[in-house]
């Protein structure tokens, strides 16, 4: 990243130093970290290949050769790319016993067999390597925009050195997070390379479902009418079809939020223990439930917007006026159909309530809200209210279908409407949940979740002990 080179000169009282820190490398990151450290009262000495040519360094810092700079501090921050670490080999003696802070990142995951920090530790066996600062960008350090990334992940094999680096992190106004030994470095180095990891599958899934239902609805509602009735309904693509896709995708995604919980419960019941890992796919699925729910909420929101514009649509107004004229021409007034009024009002009411709870679920999943409720409250909202939302939204769709489910005209080319397809997964989830809350299934499941194991060796030992006692008593 190209950095801005205009660092504001620091006031002279700040330059009346705390402790000297050494930074190898006068590149973007080294300069920005040095500037931040000087703001916090440290005295900075840079180690550079070419000390005379380093004209961009913050005012008040010193630039020396690597060997000279290393003598000035016990902590040396290596702000150099891993590919150039071999220059350190010639400095082994000068860096003996010193703390080397590895701040490096890679361009892609698994670029090297071992983490950069472990590589540095192998290269410099007589120094103490600590990984830190790699998730903080040079730009954020220089601009002060650190609000979103105050956490600094720290790991290292030598506890004293790690503590020392964590103390430095704290003194810069950042929050150190101890990630353990240097083995954690690989994971820490992967953090900056991740691109919305939890959002990837929900977004891909929603796009896939949208594409499928778009194609399906075009065939069913546009192509069918064109071929069999010679009617051009291609304009459905603008509002009618999106307003079919949005609720359908929202309902399926909402059901998919609760389906992994059902699978997990079945697995735990089958295995008779909770101390056994779920398959990887189920773990991943469980981890992205919040994102699935939020994408579903976005689709539901779009459905609400599309529905609100229905009365101002030309096609809708044309149909209503045609119906009114038809009654006038035939001198007839259709009586109020109470059953239809009930069905229509009920499905709208269920939709409003379902959407309201959906929004509530979305709000409670925000970190600022979820952090302020206790575990029981969070579970109440996300589980009980979540299922209630699913019930209301499924009922909204069922009532919308009403008598049309049994009408042969609703199946052009034997294709059911998209909303009928969307009911499959929610109904499966609700039926399975119904069985899981039956007392005869819920009780063993609750026991398992509280640590009971069907095949526990401890339980066997306890049983054997019991049998031996009973035998001796006989």
> Binding to ligand NAP by residue 150, rule CB under 6 A?
no
Nearer to ligand NAP, 102 or 221 (CB): 102
Nearest to 157 by CA among 179, 180, 178, 177: 180
List 10, 15, 40, 49, residue binding ligand NAP (CB under 6 A): 49
Binding residues among 388-427 for ligand NAP as defined by CB under 6 A: none
As measured in angstroms, the least distance from the Cβ of 277 to ligand NAP is 33
* Exposure string for 211-220, b = 16+ CB within 10 A, e = fewer: eebbebbbeb
List 39, 127, 137, 142, residue binding ligand NAP (CB under 6 A): 137
As measured in angstroms, the least distance from the Cβ of 6 to ligand NAP is 16
As measured in angstroms, the least distance from the Cβ of 43 to ligand NAP is 18
Segment interacting with ligand NAP (CB under 6 A) among 24-32, 434-442, 445-453, 464-472: 24-32
Token digits for 301? 């929101």
> Binding to ligand NAP by residue 271, rule CB under 6 A?
no
Listed in sequence order, the DSSP H helices in 63-115 are 66-71
Nearer to ligand NAP, 121 or 251 (CB): 121
Angle formed at CA 139 by CA 188 and CA 98, multiple of 5 degrees: 50
CA atoms of 264 and 236, how far apart (whole Å):
41
CA atoms of 361 and 380, how far apart (whole Å):
10
Binding residues among 53-112 for ligand NAP as defined by CB under 6 A: 54, 79-81, 84, 87, 103-105
Residue position matching structure tokens 């402790």: 19
As measured in angstroms, the least distance from the Cβ of 163 to ligand NAP is 22
Number of residues that bind ligand NAP (CB under 6 A): 22
CA atoms of 323 and 368, how far apart (whole Å):
52
As measured in angstroms, the least distance from the Cβ of 196 to ligand NAP is 19
List 7, 26, 288, 295, residue binding ligand NAP (CB under 6 A): 26
Token digits for 47? 């180690």
* Exposure string for 358-385, b = 16+ CB within 10 A, e = fewer: beebbebbeeeeeeeeeeeebeebbeee
Segment interacting with ligand NAP (CB under 6 A) among 131-139, 175-183, 265-273, 466-474: 131-139
Nearer to ligand NAP, 80 or 129 (CB): 80
CA atoms of 120 and 244, how far apart (whole Å):
57
As measured in angstroms, the least distance from the Cβ of 250 to ligand NAP is 39
DSSP string, 75-88: EEEE-S-GGGGGGG
Residue nearest to ligand NAP (CB): 27
Token digits for 55? 């004209």
Which residues in this chain contact ligand NAP in the complex, by CB under 6 A? 1, 25-30, 48-50, 54, 79-81, 84, 87, 103-105, 134, 137-138
């Amino acid at each position: 990243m190209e950095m801005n080179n205009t660092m504001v000169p620091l006031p002279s009282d700040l330059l009346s130093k705390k402790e000297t820190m050494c930074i190898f490398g006068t590149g973007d990151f080294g300069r920005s970290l040095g500037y931040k450290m000087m703001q916090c009262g440290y005295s900075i000495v840079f180690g550079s290949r070419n000390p005379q040519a380093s004209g961009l360094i913050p005012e008040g810092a010193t630039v020396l050769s690597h060997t000279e700079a290393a003598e000035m501090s016990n902590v040396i921050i290596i702000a150099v790319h891993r590919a150039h670490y071999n220059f350190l080999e010639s400095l082994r003696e000068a860096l003996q016993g010193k703390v080397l802070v590895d701040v490096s990142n890679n361009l892609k995951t698994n670029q090297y067999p071992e983490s950069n920090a472990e590589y540095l530790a192998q290269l410099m066996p007589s120094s103490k390597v600590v990984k830190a600062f790699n998730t903080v960008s040079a730009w954020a350090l220089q601009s002060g925009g650190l609000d979103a990334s105050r956490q600094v992940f720290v790991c290292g094999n030598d506890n004293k050195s790690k503590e020392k680096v964590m103390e430095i992190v704290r003194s810069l106004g950042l929050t150190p997070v101890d990630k353990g030994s240097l083995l954690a470095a690989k994971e820490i180095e992967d953090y900056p390379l991740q691109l919305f990891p939890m959002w990837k599958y929900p977004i891909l899934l929603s796009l896939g479902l949208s594409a499928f239902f778009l194609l399906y609805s075009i065939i069913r509602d546009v192509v069918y009418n064109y071929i069999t009735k010679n009617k051009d309904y291609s304009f459905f693509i603008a509002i009618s079809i999106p307003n079919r896709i949005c609720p359908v995708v929202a309902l399926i995604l909402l059901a998919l939020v609760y389906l992994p919980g059902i699978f997990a419960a079945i697995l735990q019941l089958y295995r008779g223990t909770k101390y056994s890992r779920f398959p990887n796919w189920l773990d991943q699925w469980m981890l992205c439930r919040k994102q699935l729910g939020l994408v579903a909420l976005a689709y539901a929101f779009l459905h609400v917007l599309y529905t609100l514009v229905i009365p101002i649509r030309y096609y809708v107004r044309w149909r209503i006026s045609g119906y009114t004229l038809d009654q006038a021409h035939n001198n007839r007034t259709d009586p109020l159909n109470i059953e239809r009024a009930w069905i229509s009002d009920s499905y709208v009411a269920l939709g409003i309530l379902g959407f309201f709870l959906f929004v509530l679920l979305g709000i409670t999943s925000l970190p600022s809200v979820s952090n302020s409720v206790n575990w029981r409250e969070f579970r109440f909202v996300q589980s009980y209210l979540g299922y209630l939302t699913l019930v209301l939204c499924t009922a909204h769709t069922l009532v919308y279908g009403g008598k049309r489910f049994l009408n042969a005209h609703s199946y052009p080319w034997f294709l059911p409407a998209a909303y009928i397809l969307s009911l499959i997964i929610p109904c499966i989830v609700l039926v399975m949940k119904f069985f899981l809350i039956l007392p005869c299934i819920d009780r063993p499941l609750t026991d398992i979740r509280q640590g009971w194991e069907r095949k526990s060796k401890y339980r066997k030992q306890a049983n054997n002990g019991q049998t031996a006692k009973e035998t001796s008593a006989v």
